[in-house]
Chains A and B, each alone.
Chain A
């Protein structure tokens, strides 16, 4: 099946620093990748939709200058949390959607294992 990886799995940083999280589709090409944020015991909240070669579409309330998204290739999207603060501490999860239109997996989003960000 389709595999999505995230790196790093855990990161601890000081307040004011920037952190980059990578999301890779390992065995398929993904024209669209999604970034979610999940607080403890809560559901996944969509932050932005990332399309290869174009600007990301951010959900209402998500600061695009705070959460920089780059989808430079069909297998890689990055999320950079700029000038991180303790309130940015969360579990960040990406997902990728296959670019094979009409295929069995076209509807499905394949999720990465998540990245636990802790800002001190």
Chain B
């Protein structure tokens, strides 16, 4: 089955600096890679995603890159703000017909220091 590793587990950055979180996956059949932000006591919220036929995607201060050959993808947050502080999860999803299997990474607790 799929195995997703996520690093680092915790990350502290100064406000305004960039933050990078990396994930690797094992199943080359996975074809969709979302990133979620989870605040304390709440459900995960999708912040950005990328499909396997795309190498990079950007949405304002957030970007995701995917290297299919190496089977890793990364989340980049620029100009970090205190409200970016949360736990971030990557996921690798296998979509095949009507079937979907999702495997989450272990999470990264991001702290943005004002």
Contact = CB atoms under 8 A, between A and B. Distances in A.
Interface stretch (A65-73, A74-82, A112-120): A112-120
B43 A112 contact: yes
Interface in A70-120: 93, 95, 97, 101, 106-114, 116
A50 interface: no
Nearest to B32: A107
Interface in B92-114: 93, 95, 98, 100, 102, 104-107
Per DSSP, chain B at the interface is strand
Interface residues of A, number: 25
Contact of A43 (B89, B98, B100): B89
A34 interface: yes
Nearest to B45: A111
A25 interface: no
Contacts of A42: 106-107
A34 B44 contact: no
A103 to B, nearest CB: 13
Given A43-B104, A97-B100, A107 B42 contact: no
A113 B40 CA distance: 11
Contact of A108 (B34, B89, B104, B106): B34
Contacts of A109: 34, 93, 100, 102
Nearest to B1: A60
| Most A CB within 10 A of own CB, among B43, B46, B93 | B43
